[in-house]
Chain A
Amino acid sequence: MSIALFVPCYVDQLKPRVGLAALDLLRAAGFDVEVLDGLPCCGQPLLTAGEERLARDVATRFVEGTRAFESVVTPSGSCASTLEIHGRRLVPDPPGGRARVVELTRFLSDNGALPSPPTEFPRRVGLHASCHALRELRQGTPSETREQARTDPAAALLREIPGLELVDLTRRDECCGFGGVFAVEEEAVSTRMGLDRLSDHRRGRAEVLTSTDVSCLLHLEGLARREGPPLEVLHVAEILAETHLGAGWLETNAIRGADGSR
């Protein structure tokens, strides 16, 4: 199977270690992964802003540039959903077909042979359900529906980790309020939504906040750092790397500056 890793622009720039974690996990699972270069974006920021034509151009570039692969794996439910749900509408299949874009935890669960068993991670972890992984990609069962239960691959992978306790939430899949341009244009409501999510996780005594989406986490982390006791924020890929690729992975792969150092 020919697979590529897509590290979206904001992960590339702001949370580079998440990309490294995804890459190392895929390699450890035995996949020969090619890292996409020069294709930083799925088009989502343009699409949600209402710039559908610009989004189509960017998505077309992406679809054309990845058509040689069977699957494109990405540590983002949101970007995967953009390409899988809207990209298929915006960009017709190129001759010879297109790559399937798959969110990382989904890919690892479906094809997964992570080096097991995972080592201990004795922390209370709050898993924030990314709306796009959940309600667009249907990774899990949205609380609104009465559809047949589907397993959330991120939760399933986290549950296998000894010592890791997933906290119970009052509202298990309410939006954090990031929403792309929404976070800026409707800043007041977005902030309030994020603070409400944070208090739910804090009520559950979460020590670590995680999600399949860096975008939700950037918003929640930004709010958490302004208010309340410290909360460590890690992408699911980072927790999986730390527990499956040898304890200390996070420290070894720390990126200068990402922890506040210059």
Chain B
Amino acid sequence: MGHVDRARDFVANTERTTWHDEVLWFVRAKRDAAADTLPEWEALRDEAAGIKRDVLGRLPELWRRFEQEATAAGATVHWARDAAEHNRIVHELLRTHDVKRVVKSKSMLTEECGLNPHLEAQGIEVVDTDLGERIVQLREEAPSHIIMPAIHLKRGEIGDLFHQEMGTPAGLDDPDELTAVARRDLRARFLAAEAGITGVNFAVAETGSFVVVTNEGNADLGTALPRLHIACVGLEKIVPTANDLAPFLRLLARSATGQPISTYTSHFRAPRADDGNGGPPPELHVVIVDNGRSRLLAEPAFREALACIRCGACLNTCPVYRRSGGHSYGSTVPGPIGSVLAPSQDPARHAELPHACSLCGSCSDVCPVRVPLHHQLLTWRSHLAESGHHPRRRRLAFRIAARVLSNAGLYDRATRAGRWIARRLPSRWLDRLGGPWTRSRALPSIPAESFHQALAAREEERP
């Protein structure tokens, strides 16, 4: 089952589709209002895109600098080629520290690597502490959005979940009360955790520090108590200097949720201070992960996608995402950016995704770092066709179409014949021949003459 089928199922629920579309459009509108407050919005996009372009040209140098500075500050840096190596490194760290309980703040990278199931299989309890992420974790499903993981759920569904999982009264669906219950439940887990795992929004080469942005403060709490902090960072998430953070932090929250700034913008550099209660000293580990990123970097057509700061604005604006839901994509990251990233990870599995797009271009215009998303999706289509990921019959049909469209005589004869037949068939037959086009749309009335025929006739009449 691919995007087409899952999207059809989603759309079949008209009321829910309306709700989903409107919820996300509301976030898009908030983003628009936030962009309105900055007269320099477009210049800021230029600046951020410029920094990213520079960074992507010298990743090795910047990460070496980062490693140097971070190590000097007392952190330990690890390098992971792929998801498996990343999971192995994290597990090894937890094992050697005898950790059985971990709290994790939101990180799409660890989702991508499948860290939770890997650790759970080794008997380690992982609790996602971002509320939305916690909700989808309890439901044993994937996030449907990269910054609002449970955006596909209505509050009643969350009430039911909490009733089952945390014993809240049946029918309780008040967001404040549910949040309070989740906070209490999470608080105990924060206190019991022996390690905290976080993602990284931006790593800074010159300082060896990194920034984690949250609205819930869960990354801070999750790393302030345990002695072990493991931060997992994708290869693309580095900026040269601390000054370079400014345009990104200004763009990120505004693009993501319409906030002027995220509630918590936390900078980490060294292991946290020893609390003096005895026990081993606190440790900070940074795991730098490639997992296909260097492959994307080597593809001139797609490398700019590595500039993505995971704000989610392209999902919120995408008319297809809003009407098909994040789960319809079947990839870790859904929506336009996900459809660009996924085929590079697994072309056979995700060959359909670049076609889950009407090429409207809204994503490219909303993107704070100017990734030309819809043009990349178009490019993916031809890359995937050339590498044998399009059905043969489909390709043959287009070869025939190209032949007709390149030969004036053939075009003329084929279209005359086509219209002649279409004008004589009963409309219910035509509807059947129209295939998916006529499932919801009436065919246009077929004119007796084409433009060229009508023009010739007119010029004969009044030369």
Contacts and interface: CB of A to CB of B under 8 A. Distances in A.
Interface stretch (A97-105, A108-116, A136-144, A240-248): A136-144
Q: Give 9 nearest A-B pairs by CB, closest first.
A: A222-B441, A179-B358, A50-B381, A38-B408, A175-B360, A19-B451, A135-B361, A52-B382, A144-B365
A226 B441 contact: yes
A166 to B, nearest CB: 21
Nearest to A193: B319
Interface centre among A41, A173, A186, A260 (most CB of B within 10 A): A186
A190 to B, nearest CB: 7
A46 interface: yes
A83 B398 CA distance: 19
B42 A145 contact: yes
A16 B454 contact: yes
B415 A13 contact: yes
Interface size classification for chain A: 35 or more
At the interface, is chain A mostly helix, strand, loop or mixed? helix
B362 interface: yes
Interface in A174-188: 174-175, 177-188
A186 B378 contact: no
B358 A20 contact: no
Contacts of A251: none
A144 B313 CA distance: 10
Interface in A190-231: 190-194, 196, 218-219, 221-223, 225-226
A214 to B, nearest CB: 10
Interface residues of B, number: 76
Q: Which applies to chain B's interface (DSSP): helix, strand, loop or mixed?
A: helix
Interface string B355-383: 11111111011100000000000100110
Contacts of B443: 222
B221 interface: no
Contacts of A194: 440-441
B365 A142 contact: yes
Contacts of A45: 398, 401, 405
A96 to B, nearest CB: 22
Given A9-B411, A177-B319, A192 B11 contact: yes
B139 to A, nearest CB: 24
A9 B405 contact: yes
A189 B452 contact: no
